[in-house]
Structures are given as C-alpha cells and as structure tokens.
Structure 1
Amino acid sequence: MTATHLPDSQHQGLVALLPASVRPYALLARFDRPIGWWLLYWPCAFALALGGGAISHWPLFLWLLLGAIAMRGAGCVYNDIVDRDLDAKVARTASRPVASGAVSVRGALLWTLFLSLVGLFVLLQLPRPAQIVALASLILVAAYPFMKRITWWPQAWLGLVFSWGALVAWVAVGGQAGLALPLLYAGCIAWVIGYDTIYALQDIEDDMAVGVKSSARAMGGQVRGGVALCYGTALVLWAGALWAVRPDPLVFIALLPAAVHFAGQVVTLEPANEADALAKFRSNRFAGLLIFAAMLVVGSAP
C-alpha cells in the first residue's frame, strides 16, 4: 500500500470534538463524510418535488433526511463488517474502524442495530404503501457488499440502492401514475453509476491487487467517456420525467445548470489524480441541488 492514498476515515470537523471512545463509531457510520447521505437523500427530494409534494408534504423532507443519515450510516457499518478483510488490504480503507480493529465486529453489529432502529422510527412516519416500498429495498441493500466480488458493475447495483428513495418518496406523496417515476428512478441510477465510477478511480491499483471489480476498472482508459455517457443518459431520462409531468419544451431549460455542471466534471476529470477524483465525486452534492431545483420548479408549477 502506498502512503499517497487519501484515507477513507478522518478525524475532522465535529467528529474530532467527540470523546475518543465514541469517535470510531462516528467514523464507522461516515459521519465525517456527509456526502454519502446527501447522495442518498437527493433522489428522495427529487421525487418529493417532482411528485408535487414540496408544500403539501413538506415534513417528509426532514423525515427522509433523517432516514438517509441513519440508513446510510447503517449501510456503511454493515458494508465494513462484510468487507473488513478486503478493507485491510486497501490503502484508502485500511484505517476504517472495523478493518483496523478500533471497533469489534460485535460492537459494529450493535451500532448497526441502533442506526436501523432510527431508520425504523422514520419508516413509521410514512404512509403504509411507502413503508412497503421502503422495506422492499432491504434485499438490495443486503446484497450490495458482495457485488464487487461478482460483477464488474457493482456501481449499477449501488444505483438501484441509492435511488430507491425516489420510489419511496413518490409513493408517499401520491405521485401520479405514468412514466415520470420510472424515468426519474432510471435517471438517478445512471447518475449514481457515473459519480461512483469517479469515486472508484481512487482504488484502481489496490482493487487490481486484491481482485475487487468496479466500473472504473471495466471502463479502463475510456472512463471519461463512460462517465459522460452515464451523466448524459441521466439527463435524458430526467428530461423525460419532467416532460411526463409537464409537457412543455421550457422544462428542459430547468436541467441546463445541472448539464453544465456535469460537463465541467467530465472535461476537467483527471482519472489518475486521487484528490481530483474525490473532489469531483463530492461535487455531486451541488449537482443534486441543481437537479432538485429543476424538479421543484416543474413539480410546483400550476
């Protein structure tokens, strides 16, 4: 392992102020890295906005945000338990609390249970149909850590998981039947594949050494074009979702800021530069805000 890799878990921000005994658990749930729960939350917010529930169901924005934070944390802990042996062999992830021994497997399991209970509390705030849809995602979540051992496209599976909140939120607000929801969901999946491919650029050498598969490895020297294809596909699908809700050519303008942002990511991407890959990945938090604005404008229009 080289010393140039950026560590996955860092004692920074509010996490650095926590007692030493608690800090490893915060790192385990990635509370030091909020980008993960932002990316899990944005599809929920997209669906709330485009489904017409931004005002009538505004408390759901807060409940689903809490749910995204808790369940992203629970998912990270579960992932680290499953991947503890692999993580110990990869430079960026060797410092993770379970892989490094800072948290025992038993302690990690109890932490997962607590975070899941928070998620259950949020689940109980949703209408019954939305609860059923949310619970249906658990099979996908449970299988995800194993995908990198099975397929070259674990990012596609992550797309199914991280975009699921759009289905939950749409059902929760009683969004209209039709093509809008499947197009929105598919667009989110393509977006996830794109940004997580950028994230995976950080680990290509170590992944090759330990036999872990990823879309970044699959794309090889064509990674910039591959990410561009993912982002372009996402924009086309989202445009279709907007059109399904409001068939007016002006709706396409709403996605223009996000399109410019994605173009900037692709054009300036440096695949061999870990710091750049991480920065581009994190910039999708702002991309999510731009997409949400487009969904809100169209979904709230009279």
Structure 2
Amino acid sequence: METIVPDSEGRGLLARLPGRVRDLVQLARLDRPIGAWLLFWPGAWAIALAGRAIARWDLILWFGLGAVAMRGAGCVYNDIVDRDLDRRVARTAARPLASGRLSLKMAWGWLLTLSLVGLIVLLQLERTAQIMALASIAPVAAYPFMKRITWWPQAWLGIVFSWAALVGWPAVTGTVSAPALWLYAGSILWVIGYDTIYALQDIEDDALAGVKSSARALGDHARGGVAGFYLGATLLWGIALWQVRPEPLALAGLLPMAAHLLWQVAGLRREDPADALARFRSNRFAGLLMFLACFVVGTAT
C-alpha cells in the first residue's frame, strides 16, 4: 500500500503550539519552509547575477522575509479557494480549512496580516522593482483556478514562483534587462519540472477529484517530461550567464546544478509518493547551487 505523506502534520515543535496558533502556522505552511525557499531563490539569483550580492546583502534578507510572508499568504489564499477540493485529496484533507478546524473569516484575517508584512518589504524596493512586484498580483490571484482550467497549472505556478527574478534585477539595477528575462524563463521551466514531481504524489486522488496536473498529463512519460523541462531550464540559464559574462568558464558554473537535476530525474520513481516528495524538497539545495553559479559569474565581471 502506498504511503501518503500529508502536508499538515503536527509533530515536533509544531505539536507543542496552542491549537489555534498551530492551525495558523499550518495554513501558511510556515512549518514547511520549502515553498518559501523556492519562491526566494529566483530573486536571490537575479541580485547575485547582477553582481550585487555582497553590496546588497540586506536586500537579499528582505527578499527572504518577503518570500516567507508572500508564500504564506499565497498558501492561505490557495486553501480558501481550494477548501472543497482539498477535502477529497488524502494528502490535503487534514488542512485547517479543509478539515473545518479554522474559520473562513480567520483565514482572511491571517491573509491580510501576511500581506501587510509583504507590503513592508515592498516599500524597501526601488520604484521599478515595486511596479514589477505589484504586477504579480493578477497571476498570483489566478493560480488556484488553473487546476480547474488547464492540464498544466504547473506552468502558471512557474510564472508566479519565478517572478522574483523580475523584481530582484531592477531592485539593484533600476531596470529589467535581458539576463533577468532569460533567468526568469529558465526558472519557469525549473518550476514546471519540480512541481510535476510534487504532483506525482496526488495522481490517483486528483483523477478522482477531477483536478488537472502536468503529472496526470504526462502519465508514464513523467520522468522524460521533467528531464525535458530541466534541460530547457539549464539552457536558458546558460544564456543568462553568457550575457553577463560571455566566456565558456561562466557556463561551467552551471555544472553542479545540472548534475543535481540529473540526479533528481535519474532516480525518480513515479509510483512512490515519498520519493517524489524527497526529490521535490531537494530543490532547496538546487536553488543554492544556482545561486552560487550566479554569484561567481556576477562578481567576476
């Protein structure tokens, strides 16, 4: 029998929190920081590739805080929209809203609180970066509905979760230029790849609930599909690095990232939800490898 890994587990320190506080932490996924890391990395990459990682270390910290707050706000909003669907999926049925432990009114209040933290971060940015950040509101708001509309909600998630690259670059340069666009495009493919891996956990329940996903669309070709997205991401990132430093040595900085992505694909077991979750979570480390590549190329110019 397959092991379903719920995304709302009350263990460790989380189990010691008062019930209402625990529900709010789980609703914003503060107990599962992988999503905040994945939202954070593209912005950090952009700052590093622009050559300002050292000079603007403070901005990287602000991006970290913004990633935690806005990922949390996104999760709350997603659960508000998806609370009925979540009840029909084993992995998500125990979420605070889906299970009925938390009221809708309190969820909206928590969403507003997290958004106010995001506003504080927004005010630290340069004007062009602020405009780019605000432009993300529409695609973010539309994302929870994509799984009802398209077989590729992961592509929309890529648009949303990569947006920080379009904010990080102008935050230190004052404008959006070609390297940022290539970095953003590569990140979209990376997100599609890792979120397809994540969606492998829910294929059977998604089919019963009528939820669409790239994992269901690819079926038995999921591994090949993820490999294709990762390959595309690596090529686009290579273009971004080349535009900053047009030397073969710059491209060598991508080798550790490429090797890690190859590891994810080579051992991926479509029928094992626990394995899919572990490989998905490993993208936190993948993001660090990409950051190091951007840092080396950006500071060497």
Specify the TM-score bucket, using the shorter chain as the normaliser: over 0.9
Of 207-216 and 175-184, more deviation after overlay is shown by 175-184
Contact 2:23–2:96 (CA<8 Å) still a contact in 1? yes
Contact 1:12–1:32 (CA<8 Å) still a contact in 2? no
Contact 1:254–1:297 (CA<8 Å) still a contact in 2? yes
Post-superposition CA distance 1:241-260 (Å, at most 9, x none): 00000000101110101111
Structure 1: runs of 5 or more not aligned: none
Distance across 2 between alignment mates of 1:68 and 1:245: 26
Partner of 1:132 in structure 2? 131
Distance across 2 between alignment mates of 1:45 and 1:91: 34
Post-superposition CA distance 1:56-110 (Å, at most 9, x none): 2211110010000000000000000000000001000000000001111101000
One-letter amino acid of the structure 1 residue matched with residue 280 of structure 2? F
SS in 2 for 1:148: helix
One-letter amino acid of the structure 1 residue matched with residue 158 of structure 2? G
SS in 2 for 1:155: helix
Contact 2:50–2:173 (CA<8 Å) still a contact in 1? yes
Note the C-alpha offset of 1:179.
2.4
Note the C-alpha offset of 1:13.
4.0
Post-superposition CA distance 1:156-189 (Å, at most 9, x none): 0000000000100101000776421111000000
Contact 1:29–1:77 (CA<8 Å) still a contact in 2? yes
Partner of 1:147 in structure 2? 146
Post-superposition CA distance 1:270-297 (Å, at most 9, x none): 0110000000000000010101000000
Identity of aligned residues (%): 65
Task: Report the TM-score, using the length of structure 2 for normalisation.
Answer: 0.98
Distance across 2 between alignment mates of 1:268 and 1:160: 27
1:45-124 alignment to 2 at 5 Å? 45-124=44-123
One-letter amino acid of the structure 1 residue matched with residue 129 of structure 2? A
Post-superposition CA distance 1:195-216 (Å, at most 9, x none): 0000000000011001100000
One-letter amino acid of the structure 2 residue matched with residue 154 of structure 1? P
Matched residue count? 301
Partner of 1:252 in structure 2? 251
- Relative to 1, partners in 2 of residues 1:175 and 1:194: Cα closer, same or farther, differing over 3 Å? farther
Distance across 2 between alignment mates of 1:62 and 1:19: 29
Task: Report the TM-score, using the length of structure 1 for normalisation.
Answer: 0.97
RMSD (CA atoms): 1.2
Distance across 1 between alignment mates of 2:10 and 2:234: 36
- Relative to 1, partners in 2 of residues 1:289 and 1:124: Cα closer, same or farther, differing over 3 Å? same
Partner of 1:22 in structure 2? 21
